[in-house]
A and B are shown apart, each in its own frame.
Chain A
């Protein structure tokens, strides 16, 4: 029995790797995504800041210089008129525009709180909000410095005697690549595992070799194992490539336990293979399998928490995401990588994967047997 399954596995790997085109489809998307994704972040960097300065005092100029040196803004454009303001915002020439009122310096100097208007583009309000956070930081630092300069010693002013110390655990500089790469381990391998299982069965069906398997003494269980194990091997190798690149190319510190990483990855892949087999058990052509895989994969990625936090979704949708294996594994991968979570914490995220795998694998084998009969 074992050598029969072994034969099936070898065949599947040979099928996937013999053809140069096929090899390319397994490796190129992984490399492409590995090169692109880490640079695509929600971070706001080198943007353009518009300044409409109606103030003629010195303080606004001082502030503007501070903005110009901030990491978030690379260019500062000055805006002279309302028409220019409209043009700048409408044509998205600047991410946000600061409008200094004519009495800005005077008000500040006389101890009043001037109002600085921030005009944001509602078509990208989230980025605008983040950028506005940077503006606020700069303003606050400036205010404190001024306060200190104005009131030397600062003994009387109590606010200065408290401080808020912020520490970012596990990622002190909030480096986005530290977040993206561990997540990529989960995302990219999803595609590999699904395509290998669901499409390879559909292809065998179309080419008729599936009949050849069915007339052989192989049992449906063996055939399923023969599809599942190669998919595990392929996708775990893809995951290893990303893992290595994360550690050695992108220098993300791996602080966790490799055994826990691969152990949970194994169960994640099993649950994916379950979906793959399930899709292929109900499809008869490659086109259907492709559409099926795609219809599963796209929502799975959107509902994984990678692009947008799950906490922000409506409750019913959060419940649905529980059945998304990617959601669980993305957390495991990231937390084993960066937080070095222990066995029991991993277990809390892994057991849903067992449930999902049990459901999909059972479903797939029932439909499989049913279609044969």
Chain B
């Protein structure tokens, strides 16, 4: 391994853009950033959406020019020596930069030609990269038909052509399931070990934890620069599990978060995980009414804890939204029911005989790798797709027969697409309340309540996409719950959102659930999965496991790994199932 060398330096870099809201003025995307990136390690560029990660990567790639300060990459100025620099860096933008109509080989050919990788070097590179990414079998397949994970690998392969000295990866893990993310990580780790400088930007804090070094950005400011251990070291001994809880863990979390000594808390399966304030004493479990058997156990701190600590704590456990809702009777009724649900697209069976039930007041999570049929199932449950066979029932109504009645009971929220960017915030609120049948004084009152609860007053005339991410999220939630639905469908609700906003979101969800609302959620985030009461794991169109998060972890426990994380459980259960079906197929032959 070669000695570590600093190849990228940023010195008091400021980048300003024209402010879309205020013409003629500029808005700083990066404030006086000073940082270094070295060879031989993976440097994580971590922060929520809108923190300035992409801007920073683009500055290093010579795609943007710094307003103030200096950027040096491989001793070059990215703007003045752009032609030299472009030859020496590999850059993978957010959507991987692939041409979807071109095959794998054609994409590689294009980038090889553009980077001047010719002759023997070219053949060698192709062979090496295809083997490295295990894409040999797919060279003729169009990039658009590859799975998310394969696209990502191909994007990486294209960026690696011409043997760059520096690799800039902009959110390579977005929208990709944990299995593919883990594979990609291994590949990049090997590259770093061979002497490359790698900058990996991500909004996933669990990825950050694996980096050798981390640059933590928030709102254009560099909050932390160093090894993740250093950050987690700060919160050492302050992370606790409350175990063996009796009673409702969501209510317990709310109580815990309201304690002065507790900085942050989340639900992890049947346990509640809390982060204590610096120097604070442990909370009294009796006062928290955690039950007689409850105990506190120290756990290893995570990067996320450190991040919350730097930001000064989470949002508190109280949901004003939930207060506005009328409680539904917790009668244990089955409100979501899938019976032998099957969906075929031509020959391909996307969902294969899936059956499950969700009772009132439960959070049910659907998890699974990309393309496993998770979103097909989800879409059938909220009426966006009609099943080929089987029934999907919501509060007793068959979505096929009495669709309109069933839908009146639904609230639906998806991070990507729930709001009209062409309407103002107030117009969105009016629209969604109107569509769900609110009108007149009641509509007015509800909208005003939502504006109050979520603090949307200052943004009423703005377009949703100009809102800070946290507020956009609140607005989306407001639009989904205004008609007080019995069931809330959440499709990857918090992807790309910073942990604090995610906490706040789940505080509301927990509050709503306490009022008897049922929640069905799909997610790639394992910490989100931990909030669920029960999880359905989907793979190859089938529901391969259902149970509480802890049940799933137990199923995946082995001798080598007695206490698997949710991610471990996910990966091992999916792989076990894949091997089983492969075995069965072989046996058939």
Contacts and interface: CB of A to CB of B under 8 A. Distances in A.
Contacts of A373: 386
B412 A212 contact: yes
A266 to B, nearest CB: 25
Interface in A1-56: 3-4, 6-8, 10-11, 14-15, 18-19, 22
A307 interface: no
Interface stretch (B87-95, B103-111, B426-434): B426-434
Given A14-B423, A18-B424, A214 B435 contact: no
B407 A217 contact: yes
Contacts of A218: 404, 435
B420 A209 contact: yes
B582 to A, nearest CB: 34
Contacts of B431: 7, 10-11
B383 A3 contact: no
A208 B417 contact: yes
A194 to B, nearest CB: 19
B405 interface: yes
Interface in B385-426: 386, 403-405, 407-408, 410, 412, 414, 416-424
A215 B435 CA distance: 11
Q: Interface centre among B382, B386, B435, by most A CB within 10 Å?
A: B435
Given A7-B435, A8-B435, A19 B382 contact: no
Q: Interface centre among A10, A11, A18, by most B CB within 10 Å?
A: A11
Given A211-B417, A214-B383, A14 B436 contact: no
B422 A18 contact: yes
B422 A215 contact: no
Nearest to B428: A11
B430 A7 contact: yes
Contacts, number: 76
Given A4-B435, A207-B417, A211-B384, A216 B423 contact: no
Contacts of A216: 407, 412, 435-436
Contact of A3 (B408, B427, B434): B434
Given A3-B439, A19-B422, A214-B383, A14 B412 contact: no
Interface string A220-245: 00000000000000000000000000
B200 interface: no
B417 to A, nearest CB: 2
Contacts of A18: 422-424, 427
B346 interface: no
Contacts of A215: 382-384, 407, 410, 412, 489
B20 interface: no
B24 interface: no
A227 to B, nearest CB: 14
Contacts of B439: 3
A171 interface: no
A147 interface: no
B279 interface: no
A185 B588 CA distance: 70
Contacts of B410: 215
A191 B421 CA distance: 24
Interface range, A side: 20 to 34
A208 B416 contact: yes
B437 interface: yes
Q: Tell me if A's interface is mostly helix, strand, loop or mixed.
A: helix
Contacts of B424: 14, 18
A213 B417 contact: no
A298 to B, nearest CB: 27
Contacts of B423: 11, 14-15, 18
Given A207-B421, A209-B417, A215-B384, A7 B407 contact: no
Nearest to A207: B417
B422 A14 contact: yes
A372 interface: yes
Q: Interface centre among B412, B414, B422, by most A CB within 10 Å?
A: B422
B522 to A, nearest CB: 14
Contacts of B434: 3-4, 6-7, 10
A219 interface: yes
B435 A211 contact: no
Contacts of B404: 217-219
A211 B416 CA distance: 11
Nearest to A204: B420
A217 B408 contact: yes
Given A3-B434, A215-B384, A11 B427 contact: yes
B419 A209 contact: yes
B417 A3 contact: no
A168 to B, nearest CB: 49
Contacts of B408: 217
A15 B463 CA distance: 11
Q: Interface centre among A15, A18, A212, by most B CB within 10 Å?
A: A212
Contacts of A219: 403-404
Contacts of B403: 219
Contacts of B418: 208-209, 212
Contact of A4 (B417, B421, B437): B437
Contacts of B422: 14-15, 18-19, 22
Given A7-B430, A7-B435, 15 more contacts: A3-B434, A3-B439, A4-B437, A10-B430, A18-B424, A208-B414, A208-B418, A211-B412, A215-B407, A215-B410, A216-B436, A217-B405, A217-B407, A217-B408, A218-B404
7 contacts: A4-B434, A11-B420, A11-B423, A15-B423, A208-B418, A211-B414, A372-B386
Interface of A: 3-4, 6-8, 10-11, 14-15, 18-19, 22, 207-209, 211-219, 372-373
